[in-house]
């Protein structure tokens, strides 16, 4: 059966699914092998729960004419997504970067949805499975697609671009993320820049922050739509940025008051403004969209727990995002501050050195209570009356159970694996 034949069957269905726990009537189920399971074994269950067709790559689980047998289910999902993207032929905006991808994607979506029927990556489904699922969620009613792409090694962005075939691209930044897989910062720049290579080779367009020297240089001869806080010869000039604690932007003759904390979120907002402006979204609608966006999912959320004001930024962390979060926190006009930071993952041989750099930074620049959670921070313990180190979260939880954090402004940040949002259970309880 050809991809076109499979696509014809897919179009008869309401949605694609790879999880029988989320099967709906008239779904198109694709059985993908995982590290701990073989979804082929769930093909019969998928049909019983209402799937119209199931794609399998193991003939032992063939049931009837509703079963589509292929050589590789994952490869079929990817080829089907590419075919569907070509079939719809709608503008696709792709974005990647070390920090801020998901927030930027959500901001772009709320801005463009003021004028267009848009579809964007849900959550962080941004890998070799998530990108195809995003593309297959687009319908004939979708006017612009927004696709987030994540990567932790070379050639991954190149592969995702070949599937999604973006018309526009944006790279948030190049930072110290996934150093282990990319092989250092230069590897990060090379890997993320695979998006630039695809866009240039296909004569597509890029959105560029001209204040980022590396990105400015890499895209000098591209079709580009630009923004800057320094250079007025751009498509969108940002003539004012403040953050105390929420980011305020002045541009296009308006003042935009966001619900995002920290100057590190300014460029995420600026990119959304620039993209909205390029697609002729009214400035008043751009302003309304950004001002209506409330962060969630542990990303730069401002919460109150008892007498404490908390900045919860615990979705993820790497050395670049950690430093800018701490710099922003240090400059906040608040008293009685406290930071709770957790280990940063996937840093490979650089891990201990990067954790030491964060400890040294706070030792030099802070005069407030600091709690460091995780084995790599613990390995870099130093003597400072304001510093407290814990080898595990459980050790930290014991401290919290016997001590109270009251009347403080608290920053909580760490890698996803640290799940530092658990801290909230112990504050003012």
- Predicted local confidence at residue 179, as pLDDT: 63
Query: pLDDT class for 175, splitting at 50, 70, 90?
Result: low
List the helix and strand counts (H, then E) for the chain. Answer: 16, 19
- Predicted local confidence at residue 177, as pLDDT: 60
Ordered by where they begin, the domains of the chain are 3-72 (3.40.1390.10), 90-292 (3.40.1190.10), 301-426 (3.90.190.20)
Task: Give the pair of three-digit tokens for residue 92.
Answer: 């696709």
Question: How does pLDDT run across 108-123, given as a tens digit for each residue?
Answer: 999 999 999 999 999 7
Closest C-alpha among 395, 366, 397 to residue 382? 366
Q: What is the DSSP letter of 69?
A: E
Mean pLDDT of the chain: 92
- Predicted local confidence at residue 181, as pLDDT: 63
- Predicted local confidence at residue 37, as pLDDT: 82
Q: How many C-beta atoms lie closer than 10 Å to residue 383's C-beta?
A: 6
Residue % of the chain over a pLDDT of 70: 97
Per mean pLDDT, which range of 327-331, 352-356, 374-378, 396-400 is the poorest?
A: 327-331
Cis ω on the peptide bond leading into residue 80 (within 30° of 0)?
no
Q: Is 284 exposed, middle or buried (0-12, 13-18, 19+ CB in 10 A)?
A: exposed
Per the CB < 8 A criterion, the answer to whether 422 and 322 are in contact is no
Question: How does pLDDT run across 118-147, given as a tens digit for each residue?
Answer: 999 997 789 999 999 999 999 999 999 999
Per mean pLDDT, which range of 64-78, 322-336, 374-388 is the poorest?
A: 322-336
Per the CB < 8 A criterion, the answer to whether 319 and 174 are in contact is no
Question: How does pLDDT run across 11-23, given as a tens digit for each residue?
Answer: 999 999 999 888 9
Per mean pLDDT, which range of 34-43, 102-111, 254-263 is the poorest?
A: 34-43
Q: How far apart (Å, rounded) are the C-alpha atoms in residues 242 and 332? A: 11
Cα 344-96-106 angle, rounded to 5 deg: 95
- The residue that leads in pLDDT, 364 or 333, is 364
Question: How does pLDDT run across 267-300, given as a tens digit for each residue?
Answer: 999 999 999 999 999 999 999 999 999 987 777 7
Question: How does pLDDT run across 26-65, given as a tens digit for each residue?
Answer: 999 999 988 788 899 999 999 999 999 999 999 999 999 9
Query: pLDDT class for 405, splitting at 50, 70, 90?
Result: confident
- The residue that leads in pLDDT, 139 or 175, is 139
Closest C-alpha among 103, 264, 98 to residue 185? 98
Three-class DSSP labels, 329-369: HHHCCCCCEEEEEECCCCCHHHHHHHHHHHHHHHHHHCCCE
- Predicted local confidence at residue 244, as pLDDT: 78
DSSP 251-315: ETTEEEEEEEESGGGHHHHHHHHHHHHHTT--HHHHHHHHHH----TTSSEEEEETTEEEEEE-S
- Supply the Cα-derived Rg of the chain in whole angstroms: 23
The length of the chain in residues reads: 429
Buried b (16+ CB within 10 A) or exposed e, 60-90: ebeeeeebbebeebbebbbbbbbbbbeebeb
- The residue that leads in pLDDT, 114 or 301, is 114
Cα of first residue to Cα of last residue in the chain, in angstroms, is 60
Question: How does pLDDT run across 180-227, given as a tens digit for each residue?
Answer: 666 677 877 888 889 999 999 999 999 999 999 999 999 999 999 999
DSSP 102-148: HHHHHHHHHHHTTTS-EEE--TT--STTHHHHHHHT--TT--EEEEE
Per the CB < 8 A criterion, the answer to whether 304 and 310 are in contact is yes
2 — phi, psi (to 5°)? Answer: -80, 165
Q: How far apart (Å, rounded) are the C-alpha atoms in residues 319 and 303? A: 24
Question: How does pLDDT run across 326-359, given as a tens digit for each residue?
Answer: 998 998 888 899 999 999 998 888 899 999 999 9
- Predicted local confidence at residue 22, as pLDDT: 87
Q: What is the DSSP letter of 33?
A: B
């Amino acid at each position: 059966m050809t991809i076109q034949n499979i696509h014809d069957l897919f179009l008869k269905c309401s949605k694609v699914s790879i999880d029988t726990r989320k099967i709906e009537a008239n779904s198109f189920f694709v059985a993908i092998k995982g590290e701990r399971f073989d979804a082929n074994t769930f093909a019969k269950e998928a049909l019983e729960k209402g799937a119209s067709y199931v794609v399998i790559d193991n003939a032992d689980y063939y049931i009837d004419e509703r079963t589509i047998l292929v050589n590789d289910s994952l490869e079929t999902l990817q080829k089907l997504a590419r075919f569907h993207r070509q079939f719809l032929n709608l503008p696709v905006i792709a974005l990647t970067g070390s920090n801020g991808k998901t927030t930027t994607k959500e901001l772009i979506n709320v801005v463009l949805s003021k004028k267009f029927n848009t579809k964007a990556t849900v959550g962080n489904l941004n890998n070799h499975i998530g990108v195809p699922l995003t593309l297959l969620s687009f319908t004939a009613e979708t006017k612009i697609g927004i696709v987030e792409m994540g990567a932790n090694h070379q050639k991954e962005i190149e592969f995702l671009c070949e599937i999604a075939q973006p018309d526009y691209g944006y790279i948030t930044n190049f930072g110290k993320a996934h150093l282990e897989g990319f092989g250092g910062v230069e590897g990060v720049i090379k890997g993320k820049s695979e998006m630039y290579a695809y866009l240039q080779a296909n004569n597509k367009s890029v959105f560029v922050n001209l204040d980022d020297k590396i990105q400015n240089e890499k895209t000098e001869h591209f079709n580009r739509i630009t923004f800057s806080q320094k250079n007025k010869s751009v498509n969108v000039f940002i003539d004012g940025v403040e953050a105390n604690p929420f980011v305020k932007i002045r541009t296009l003759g308006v003042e935009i008051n966001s619900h995002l904390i920290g100057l590190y979120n300014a460029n995420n907002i600026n990119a959304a403004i620039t993209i909205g402006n390029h697609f002729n979204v009214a400035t008043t609608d751009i302003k309304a969209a950004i001002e209506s966006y409330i962060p969630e999912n542990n990303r730069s959320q401002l919460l109150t727990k008892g007498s404490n004001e908390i900045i919860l930024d615990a979705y993820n962390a790497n050395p670049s995002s950690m430093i800018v979060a701490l710099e922003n926190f240090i400059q906040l006009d608040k008293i009685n501050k406290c930071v709770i930071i957790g280990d940063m993952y996937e840093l490979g041989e650089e891990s201990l050195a990067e954790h030491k750099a964060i400890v040294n930074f706070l030792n030099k620049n802070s005069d407030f209570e600091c709690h460091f959670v995780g084995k790599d921070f613990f390995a870099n313990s130093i003597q400072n009356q304001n510093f407290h180190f814990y080898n595990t979260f459980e050790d930290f939880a014991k401290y919290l159970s016997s001590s109270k954090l009251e009347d403080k402004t608290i920053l909580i940040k760490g890698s996803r694996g640290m799940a530092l949002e658990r801290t909230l259970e112990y504050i003012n309880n």
